[in-house]
Chains A and B, each alone.
Chain A
């Protein structure tokens, strides 16, 4: 079945460091890919998404490119801030050949801590 694998955390970085959180997926159809972020004490919220191969999602300085050839959707940010400390979830939802979209499947999450 479909699945998402993301790098295990926690990840600790200094402010202004470069961030990469790896995410790879397995899907049988044509998945849409997502990054959700969970700030302390809050629910998840959408960070960015991409719906087809080679699309780049971006938001708040974060970027991720849908790479079908490597089945990856790695999250990157050039210069992290303390306020980026959160848990990041990679997710997919698959489209079947009949045109129906399945529910979201989440990775296990990666906790990021950014130190001043």
Chain B
């Protein structure tokens, strides 16, 4: 099994629908992140969490929310999806002492029609 598992891997939805992307990890890492990848824009940080009770906004948090259900689980929600949220979403983890070496999931491709 992968160290960082994202579900679903692909999702097509319609404008206005609520979407949840889930992430679970077996690394035992404290820190978890959600990034968005768009062509030509690289990766941009949406939210991050340093432990279960710590949630922080990243660069582009508007329109998104997160939940850290346990040390190993970190979910990203789009309450009302819009077409410009069409992107590839990555979950990542890191260890407190890991010097920002991130372990990434394989990605969740979301298309909003």
Using a CB–CB distance below 8 Å, which chain A residues touch chain B?
32, 34, 36, 41-46, 49, 51, 89, 93, 101, 103-104, 106-109
Contact = CB atoms under 8 A, between A and B. Distances in A.
Contacts of A101: 99-100
Interface of B: 4, 33, 40-45, 48, 58, 90, 92, 99-107
Contacts of B102: 36, 44, 46, 104
B100 A106 contact: no
B101 A46 contact: yes
Contacts, number: 49
A106 B41 CA distance: 9
Given A32-B99, A49-B101, A108-B40, A103 B45 contact: yes
A106 B48 CA distance: 15
Given A43-B107, A49-B101, A106-B43, 15 more contacts: A34-B101, A36-B102, A41-B106, A43-B90, A44-B90, A49-B99, A51-B99, A89-B42, A89-B43, A103-B33, A103-B58, A104-B100, A106-B42, A108-B40, A108-B42
A93 B100 contact: yes
A50 to B, nearest CB: 11
A32 B103 CA distance: 17
Contact of B41 (A34, A46, A49, A108): A108
B4 A43 contact: yes
B104 A45 contact: yes
A41 B104 CA distance: 12
5 contacts: A44-B102, A46-B101, A46-B102, A101-B99, A104-B102
B106 A107 contact: no
